[in-house]
Amino acid sequence: MRTPFAGFFGANGIHLPKAGAWHFKDAYRTVLQKASSEKLPELASRELPSIITHWLHDINSSPLLLDEATGIRWRNTLQEAAGRKDLSISFSGYPFYSAKSSFRFIDLFAGIGGFRIALQAYGGKCVFSSEWDMKAKETYLQNYAEIPFGDIKLFTDPNVSDDFIENNIPDHDVLAAGFPCQPFSLAGVSARNSLGKKHGFYCKVQGTLFFDIARIASIKRPKVIFMENVKNLISHENGKTFETIRDVIKNNLGYSFFWKEVDSCTLVPQRRKRIYMICIRDSKIAYFFPSFGGKARPLSSILESNPESKYTLSRKMWRGHQKRTRRNLQRGTGFTANLADISKPANTIVARYYKDGKECLIPTKSGLPRMLTIREAAKLQGYDGRFKPHPSRSSAYKQFGNSVSVPVVKKIACKLSMILGQIS
């Protein structure tokens, strides 16, 4: 039986546990085989891999989008296959699986889980994740033993009732969302203008996704809404976009609103300015962002001493970069490609880095610059050596370019975790 994620669960047959725990992969394949023979609602059938992986984190719960009876059938299937009633699931091999549960959070527009790593570090338990990019979902699975649900609009479409959201998105203390930034970023706005496309809240595909966050928050009423976006969000449409967000949070939802622009360069060797927003349900509780002062980290601090030759640009590509750079400088527009000063932080790494690496080209002794290695790109966003990048090089670069800076989110989350218990 093939599913979109079959390769990530291995091609071998099911290995029944003789003693101890089911391994996550074997439990998944066993439940999938059972569930695929059942008649399920259309949405549940489409999202079945996500439903099963979420359920395996808490097999005593009811599967999302389904009912308690389905959970009982799935548990019985595992019990019968193993020949015993006591069940446990092993998540060995998944570096960022966590069973901690000091507070509960959901991970929207999850990407590769930067928010998840940060919140789990302070006792958070993720109870729901959503991400529409298939390659990002594959990376997420490899690290957290969970396949995010697809487009959040499956849950927030205007035709979906409030009761559906109430019943199918678990209760949570923190709603975390690094909602898509392309409609608000300088590059995104420039590209959309040149193509005659609308941007910001007029971008019907991504720009309105803030309102999906707001709808979930209005129904589930988490203690905190924790959001991230690009610096340009503040100035977009002469500040009207940001004011709309603040107005919805404060006047429609009744949450307080705190925000700060943070440059990541004192925590990771990359200049990455982003807007972070903390919105609190209890107006009596204030949030004060931690300081991000200090000395900027040099790019040299994360560079490998002997990178593989495949990361070095060809002579033809490097000449093309130089030619386009001269032309664009003369006409005063367009991107340029220059060698990075490794004694300083790197420029902001973006999703398109995989194409030619021009945002950060490392000088070499050969005279031909090289791109960052995949592991260097991971370190540039604060992912440690345990993290499993996507096996596709282009997908891995895209995903790190779209990610939050994990140490920045961790520092904000640390302070946030200290006040969660005080919020009524």
The CA distances from residue 70 to 1, 142, 200, in Å, are 21, 26, 41
The CA distances from residue 281 to 65, 66, 127, 287, 322, in Å, are 27, 30, 20, 11, 52
Check residue 4 and give its pLDDT: 76
Please name which of 171, 219, 168, 163 lies closest in space to residue 64, comparing C-alpha atoms: 168
pLDDT at residue 40 greater than cutoff 60? yes
The CA distances from residue 316 to 210, 322, 330, in Å, are 43, 10, 21
Q: Is 395 part of a structural domain of the chain?
A: no
Q: Is 354 part of a structural domain of the chain?
A: yes
The answer on 269 and 138 residing in a single domain is yes
Number of domains observed in the structure of the chain? 3
Q: Is 268 part of a structural domain of the chain?
A: yes
The answer on 192 and 126 residing in a single domain is yes
CB 245 within 8 A of CB 237: no
Q: How many residues does the chain have?
A: 424
Q: Taking residues 25-38, what's their average pLDDT?
A: 95
Check residue 290 and give its pLDDT: 97
Q: Is 1 part of a structural domain of the chain?
A: no
Q: Is 140 part of a structural domain of the chain?
A: yes
Check residue 9 and give its pLDDT: 86
The answer on 303 and 290 residing in a single domain is no
User: Residue 146, CB half-sphere, CA atoms under 13 Å: how many?
Assistant: 28
Check residue 185 and give its pLDDT: 42
The answer on 306 and 292 residing in a single domain is no
Distance from C-alpha of 68 to C-alpha of 76, rounded to nearest angstrom: 12
Check residue 202 and give its pLDDT: 46
The answer on 304 and 288 residing in a single domain is no
Check residue 302 and give its pLDDT: 97
The answer on 285 and 157 residing in a single domain is yes
Q: What is the pLDDT of residues 338-386, one digit of tens each?
A: 899 999 999 999 999 999 898 999 999 999 999 999 999 999 999 999 9
Residues contacting residue 418 through CB under 8 Å, at least 6 positions apart = none
3-state secondary structure of 89: strand
> Quick one: tokens of 310?
């495949």
Distance from C-alpha of 185 to C-alpha of 181, rounded to nearest angstrom: 6
**Residue after which a domain boundary falls, among 90, 119, 148:** 90
**Residue after which a domain boundary falls, among 22, 55, 90:** 90
The answer on 340 and 222 residing in a single domain is no
Q: Taking residues 130-158, what's their average pLDDT?
A: 95
Check residue 18 and give its pLDDT: 65
Check residue 12 and give its pLDDT: 64
CB 170 within 8 A of CB 106: yes
Please name which of 246, 267, 255, 247 lies closest in space to residue 218, comparing C-alpha atoms: 255
pLDDT at residue 207 greater than cutoff 90? no
Q: Is 369 part of a structural domain of the chain?
A: yes
Give the pairing type, strands 22-23 and 103-108: unpaired
Lowest mean pLDDT among 33-47, 192-206, 388-402: 192-206
pLDDT band at 35 (very low <50, low <70, confident <90, very high): very high
What does 319-353 look like in DSSP terms, one character per residue?
HHHHHHHHHHHHHT-S----B--TTSPBPPP-TTH
Check residue 200 and give its pLDDT: 40
Q: Is 49 part of a structural domain of the chain?
A: yes
The answer on 136 and 179 residing in a single domain is yes
pLDDT at residue 21 greater than cutoff 60? yes
pLDDT at residue 196 greater than cutoff 50? no
pLDDT at residue 334 greater than cutoff 80? no
pLDDT band at 328 (very low <50, low <70, confident <90, very high): confident
Check residue 157 and give its pLDDT: 87
121: how many CB neighbours lie within 10 A of its CB?
17
pLDDT at residue 181 greater than cutoff 60? no
pLDDT band at 415 (very low <50, low <70, confident <90, very high): very high
Q: Is 96 part of a structural domain of the chain?
A: no
Mean of all residue pLDDT scores within the chain:
90
Selected residue with higher pLDDT from 174 and 234 = 174
Q: Taking residues 311-327, what's their average pLDDT?
A: 92
- The dihedral over CA atoms of 276, 303, 338, 191, expressed in degrees to the nearest 10, equals -40
The answer on 184 and 66 residing in a single domain is no
The answer on 137 and 47 residing in a single domain is no
Q: Taking residues 406-413, what's their average pLDDT?
A: 98
Helices (H) and strands (E) in the chain, counts: 16, 8
pTM for the whole structure: 0.91
The answer on 311 and 292 residing in a single domain is no
Domain with 73, as residue range(s), is: 6-90
360 is catalytic: no
**Active-site annotation holder among 126, 181, 203, 265:** 181
| CATH value at residue 350 | 3.90.120
Q: What is the pLDDT of residues 60-101, one digit of tens each?
A: 999 999 999 999 999 999 999 988 888 899 999 999 999 989
Lowest mean pLDDT among 117-131, 263-277, 322-336, 378-392: 322-336
Please name which of 88, 104, 107 lies closest in space to residue 26, comparing C-alpha atoms: 88
| CATH value at residue 207 | 3.40.50.150
The answer on 131 and 69 residing in a single domain is no
Distance from C-alpha of 243 to C-alpha of 235, rounded to nearest angstrom: 10
**Residue after which a domain boundary falls, among 34, 63, 90:** 90
